[in-house]
């Protein structure tokens, strides 16, 4: 029996990190949009957090690939 890819997605650390990143980025965007005085700070926060999350996702992907290669 083939594993269900959707269930695999729901158990993926990379997927949930991406979802959290999207929610944080959208939240910060809309806070900056509707509170004009905070726009520069919100823009900085988004630009500072985005590379960190992407780096963590890439590191998890490399780790998962190394584990599969070792098996």
pTM, two decimals, is 0.71
Is the pLDDT at 1 greater than 70? The verdict is no
| Average pLDDT over all residues of the chain | 85
Distance CA 36, CA 34 (A): 6
Distance CA 56, CA 14 (A): 8
Q: Give the pLDDT confidence score for residue 62 in this predicted structure.
A: 92
Residue located via tokens 């998890």: 60
């Amino acid at each position: 029996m083939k594993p269900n890819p959707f269930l695999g997605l729901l158990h993926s650390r990379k997927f949930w990190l991406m979802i959290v990143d999207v929610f944080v980025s959208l939240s910060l965007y809309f806070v900056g949009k509707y509170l004009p005085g905070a726009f520069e700070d919100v823009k900085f926060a988004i630009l500072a957090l985005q590379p960190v999350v992407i780096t963590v996702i890439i590191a998890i992907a490399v780790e998962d690939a190394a584990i599969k290669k070792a098996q």
